[in-house]
């Protein structure tokens, strides 16, 4: 998966040399826990010629919290190369807040299960407000996943969230179709 991501970054970099984009990819628990994960990523970046700043790795809470000290070591080593990190599906795992200040994260990704009903469920509203406030106060970017309507966008923007992912914008697309859609405006 990482090789495919690096190949795609290279293709887009050639097609749009003046654009600054970052490709985020999910890393599986098995992949991340591999003892040679850091060296494999480092070698892949060197081999592919991809700028590490163009790559963001998305990890779930359960992957990180399984062995937090090992996770911090690996994330710090990869971050020193320029790779960014996003905590995927935030709020659905163990949600231990003590690790947030220790992890070299760039972004929290609010799980769609909280976003889905923010216009009708007061509890989800409070959870989303709290995640956005906490993330912003910790200096993290916050992205909401599962955004499907304008009311959700309006609420999220008012709370300070300015990055969205969901069917309101597009269904998942193959890379070539995504590029065509991007070029179309």
Q: What are the backbone dihedrals phi and psi of residue 127, each rounded to the nearest 5 degrees, phi first? A: -60, -45
How far apart are the C-alpha atoms of 170 and 183, rounded to whole Å? 14
The predicted pLDDT at position 96 comes to 66
pLDDT tens per residue, range 87-146: 998 877 666 677 888 899 999 999 999 999 999 999 999 999 999 999 999 999 999 999
How far apart are the C-alpha atoms of 129 and 123, rounded to whole Å? 10
In the three-class reduction of DSSP (H, G, I as helix; E, B as strand; rest coil), residue 56 is classed as strand
- What mean pLDDT do residues 47-66 have? 91
The predicted pLDDT at position 93 comes to 66
- Of 52, 46, 50, 47, nearest to 12 (Cα)? 50
- Facing residues of 55 across strands? 23
- pLDDT higher for 13 or 165? 165
The predicted pLDDT at position 112 comes to 94
The predicted pLDDT at position 31 comes to 93
Share of the chain above pLDDT 70, in %: 97
How far apart are the C-alpha atoms of 78 and 41, rounded to whole Å? 8
**For residue 183, what is the DSSP state?**
H
- pLDDT higher for 185 or 110? 110
Stated pTM of the model: 0.90
């Amino acid at each position: 998966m990482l090789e495919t991501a690096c190949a795609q970054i290279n293709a887009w970099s050639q097609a749009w040399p003046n654009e600054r984009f970052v490709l985020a990819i999910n890393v599986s628990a098995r992949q991340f826990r591999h003892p040679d994960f850091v060296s494999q990523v480092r070698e892949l970046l060197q081999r592919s010629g991809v700028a590490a700043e163009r790559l963001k790795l998305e990890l779930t809470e359960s992957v990180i919290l399984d062995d937090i000290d090992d996770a911090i070591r690996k994330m710090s080593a990869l971050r020193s190369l320029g790779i960014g990190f996003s905590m995927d599906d935030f709020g659905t795992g163990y949600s231990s807040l003590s690790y947030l200040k220790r992890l070299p994260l760039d972004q929290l990704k609010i799980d769609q299960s909280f976003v889905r009903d923010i216009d009708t469920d007061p509890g989800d509203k409070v959870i989303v407000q709290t995640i956005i406030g906490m993330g912003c106060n910790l200096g993290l970017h916050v992205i909401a996943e599962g955004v499907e309507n304008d009311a959700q966008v309006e609420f999220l923007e008012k709370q300070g969230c300015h990055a969205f992912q969901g069917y309101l914008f597009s269904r998942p697309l193959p890379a070539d179709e995504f590029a065509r859609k991007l070029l179309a405006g």
